[in-house]
Structure 1
Amino acid sequence: MLLLAFLNTVTSNQHSAATLRMGDQKQEASETKHFPWHLGAFDAHCHPTDTVPSLDSIAGMKTRALTIMATRGQDQRLVADFADKLGITEDTVPALESTSTSGEKSRGYIVPAFGWHPWFSHQIFVGAKDEMPSKFNHYRMAISPSPEDDDFIASLPDPRPLSDLLDQTRHYLERYPHAIVGEIGLDRAFRIPRNEMVDNGYERDPALTPGGREGRRLSPYRVDMRHQQNIMKAQLNLAGEMQRAVSVHGVAAHGVVFETLEETWRGHERRSISKRERKRRESIDVAHQEKKKSEADEQSSKPGDPKPFPPRICLHSYSGPADTLRQYLHPSVPAIMFFSFSRLVNFSSTSNKAVAAIQAVPDDKILAESDMHAAGEKMDDLLEDIVRKICQIKGWTLEEGLKQLRSNWLHYVFGQTRER
């Protein structure tokens, strides 16, 4: 018996070592192998409208489709303009799913996203138009700490009512059937820029779309968190009404992001199945039960079935701990959750947290993004880089990884599980 146990242990150890070697070989191949762009690489979150001249590069990019975010008043129209030129249509969806090696690309390169970023949410007044306070009173309520610096408030744009923002977003979502809502979210760390430039010889780049930081000094003021939540929830409700996916920003606010999302789906949670019920189902054809559940999930995400929460949510450049994923992936959560990762955010410094999160995210819920502010070769390079990184961490070959990531992106944007 002891000899048999010893032989079993040796065999098991040899098998484990062989498995690890195979994983290492896949990782090495993912790092060195020619990148198979023909399989389709999809950028789940980027900002090329921040650098308008770069938009002419989109048609020549290797990336098959870009999910382009709007963030503020100055770029909503820009995103729409390029959706008119290069937007995905029903005719181009089959080409997005294709793995043809012919080298031909579909006409559609852009999925537009319309939303108001938390960095600019102080510019929005929560309330009816006829109740708008003075500019100074508005910003004293929307900014923390409440500024006493009248010159600073005077330098800020005139606020606009939330109803105008929502009407504009609804108009764009109706105009572009595949558009999503984004970038929206919460940020505890961001400080509102002043008007003056930093004292390091920085000069404003005329190619940049106005309204961003653009090298300006940072003030001591932040957007009030409750105000950010109100703006975020209003946009989440609109996404639920229109049954569109959302791309969510969360920095130094992971707990509050979840609480805010949870508020929108409260009362709509899925019923959790007990262990006893699960065993009972397993004994009566679990495959049939799962098929029915999947069909119900797909049916619930179709247009014409409005809810107060979005059907699909992506936490972009997810920077939270791996343990936090559990609350988003709990069976009671009625929205389908995705998590995207970027080289710029997740691997700019220490990467241990990102590696753990990527390992923990289910294979069918992970997305890749560049989060880049200019289209072109650099954006392609960043997307390739993060895809290779995800494949390395997951132990996928590049072919396996690209096929899985393509399937995930199609599910995220279009709301249907596609065959890989």
Structure 2
Amino acid sequence: MCQEDKDTASPPPPKPAHGDESFPWHLGAYDAHCHPTDTMSSLSPSSIAALRTRVLAIMATRSQDQQLVADVAADHGINDADSESEPDSADTSCKVVPAFGWHPWFSYQLYDDTVPNPTYNYNPSNTDNHDASAEEDAKIAHYQAVLSPTPQDRSLLSSLPTPTPLSSLLSSTREYLSSFPLALVGEVGLDKGFRLPQQRPPGDDYSRDENLTPGGREGRLLSPFRVQMQHQQAILQAQLRLAGEMGRAVSVHGVQAHGVLYDTIAACWKGHEKKVLSRRDKKRIAPGAEEGSDDDDDDDEEASSDNDGSKAKKKKKKRNIGGKPFPPRICLHSYSGSADMLKQWFHPAVPSTIFASFSTGVNMGSAAAKEKLVAVVRAVPDDRILVESDMHAAGDEAEGLLADMYRFVCEVKGWGVEEGVERIGGNFRRFVYG
């Protein structure tokens, strides 16, 4: 969801540059970030059965689509990560990995009720003492506090939903994550460019596309009002902490905010950075001994008895380790920053495992963008690169765009397409499953 911050309706994404009849779908193509619940008709049982993509990572973004994502995952979700990765699995139908989160475009609809003076403070002592005027004033005060420049149009602010407490979002997201053990947190992030849509004119409901899930921009022009960055950061960090608590990977949105996005996420892992050994220190350590010494995701040693009664040690793999204030794995979705800025994300002291994914619609919208993307793709380590469609509907167009991005990445990396599909598939499984 990176294309709606323009004054006019977004143009359709470019048509696939190549046919995909020869694309090796049978090897397992993975869409690391998409939004087909924005167009529910594209997710009918017959539509999903026709998909060639092995797994869709479907993002929730706002109040209206959280349960939709959960419903699709209940019917088509992956229950066992190990069986999904088996090439000889009898079930080859498209599967879903759900992601639950609140997108920065909708962060203004939340208020932080964990701070001493929340921006929304209507709290009647009992339901019989409801004061509609006071409630409306509280709502308007909240939106004036989190939007910039400060809106003065009460009709616009009155048309916005009553703010949701951040604690409620975190509670419901925790329940979704508990219900789906492989679920991600996403889509979350920061966006300096986004502006709120204008209020729909009275009597203009007929122009709304009924095929789209409510709550989005829906073709409306944009207002001058942006969500204050400090507010976006608070909403993002709360969701990052939840992901850390539950040991889940996160899909992160960042537009015109690459530096502040890094700083905001890095603040969550402050004090937990990995120790980076100097060359002198490395020479003092036996070869291989330094590997994994500071990584909490390493294997445990578990004692077991051999036949002769002696104790032998065997490796036991930890999975989904939580309890940290930062996520174990982070994907920079449709990363649009520079190759040079990637260095900070892939610094050896960073305790989260960082991935970067790319989409045709966002990253190849122009010749200049495509040229820039070559350097960026080269800068991403081979085992950290992912591919996505970022499309609002599932189907042939999304799969064509996905195949095009696979081909582009393979060309830049110097991989054959089959080799690249297998490599990127392995990267996806490490990102999602750990």
Name the TM-score class by shorter chain. 0.7 to 0.9
Q: Does 1:372 align with 2:391?
A: yes
* Structure 2 counterpart of 1:390, one-letter code: V
| Maintained 8 Å contact 1:88/1:107 | no
Which residue pairs with 1:151 in the alignment? Answer: 155
Which of these residues, 393, 403, 408, is aligned with residue 412 of structure 2?
A: 393
Aligned length: 377
| Maintained 8 Å contact 2:53/2:94 | no
**Secondary structure, counterpart of 1:218 in structure 2:** coil
Which residue pairs with 1:97 in the alignment? Answer: 85
Which residue pairs with 1:7 in the alignment? Answer: none
Q: Deviations over 1:298-319 (max 9, x none)?
A: 6697345410000000000000
| Maintained 8 Å contact 2:274/2:295 | no
| Maintained 8 Å contact 2:48/2:94 | no
Residue 33 (structure 1) shift: 8.6
| Correspondence 1:201-240 to 2 at 5 A | 203-240=207-244
Q: Does 1:165 align with 2:153?
A: no
| Maintained 8 Å contact 2:299/2:318 | yes
Residue 145 (structure 1) shift: 1.0
**Secondary structure, counterpart of 1:340 in structure 2:** strand
| Correspondence 1:5-154 to 2 at 5 A | 34-56=22-44, 57-90=47-80, 93-100=81-88, 105-106=91-92, 109-128=95-114, 132-133=120-121, 134-154=138-158
| Maintained 8 Å contact 1:340/1:369 | yes
Compute the TM-score of the two structures, normalised by the length of structure 2. Answer: 0.82
The structure carrying a bigger helix percent of its residues is 1
Structure 1 distance, partners of 2:222, 2:431, is 35
Alpha-carbon spacing, 1:115–1:247, altered in 2? closer, same or farther (3 Å): same
Q: Which sections of structure 2, spanning at least 5 residues, go unmatched?
A: 1-17, 122-137, 301-316
Which residue pairs with 2:307 in the alignment? Answer: none
Structure 2 distance, partners of 1:175, 1:33, is 37
Compute the TM-score of the two structures, normalised by the length of structure 1. Answer: 0.85
Which residue pairs with 1:23 in the alignment? Answer: none
Residue 106 (structure 1) shift: 3.7
Q: Which sections of structure 1, spanning at least 5 residues, go unmatched?
A: 1-29, 416-420
Q: Deviations over 1:354-382 (max 9, x none)?
A: 11110110000000000000011111111
Structure 2 distance, partners of 1:380, 1:98, is 22
Which residue pairs with 1:285 in the alignment? Answer: 287
Which residue pairs with 2:13 in the alignment? Answer: none
* Structure 1 counterpart of 2:378, one-letter code: Q
| Maintained 8 Å contact 2:297/2:321 | no
Q: Deviations over 1:19-39 (max 9, x none)?
A: xxxxxxxxxxx9999211111
| Maintained 8 Å contact 2:102/2:188 | yes
| Maintained 8 Å contact 2:359/2:388 | yes
| Maintained 8 Å contact 1:59/1:109 | no
Structure 1 distance, partners of 2:20, 2:63, is 42
Structure 2 distance, partners of 1:302, 1:317, is 27
* Structure 2 counterpart of 1:154, one-letter code: S
Alpha-carbon spacing, 1:33–1:107, altered in 2? closer, same or farther (3 Å): closer
| Maintained 8 Å contact 2:32/2:428 | yes
Q: Deviations over 1:276-323 (max 9, x none)?
A: 122333xx323x543666785466973454100000000000000000
Alpha-carbon spacing, 1:128–1:54, altered in 2? closer, same or farther (3 Å): same
Which of these residues, 321, 325, 338, is aligned with residue 308 of structure 1?
A: 325
Structure 1 distance, partners of 2:21, 2:397, is 19
Which residue pairs with 1:352 in the alignment? Answer: 371
Structure 1 distance, partners of 2:206, 2:425, is 40
Q: CA RMSD in A?
A: 2.4
| Maintained 8 Å contact 2:64/2:214 | yes
Structure 2 distance, partners of 1:163, 1:311, is 22
Structure 2 distance, partners of 1:294, 1:263, is 19
Percent identical pairs in the alignment equals 52
| Maintained 8 Å contact 1:124/1:160 | yes
Alpha-carbon spacing, 1:294–1:124, altered in 2? closer, same or farther (3 Å): closer
Which residue pairs with 1:21 in the alignment? Answer: none
**Secondary structure, counterpart of 1:290 in structure 2:** coil
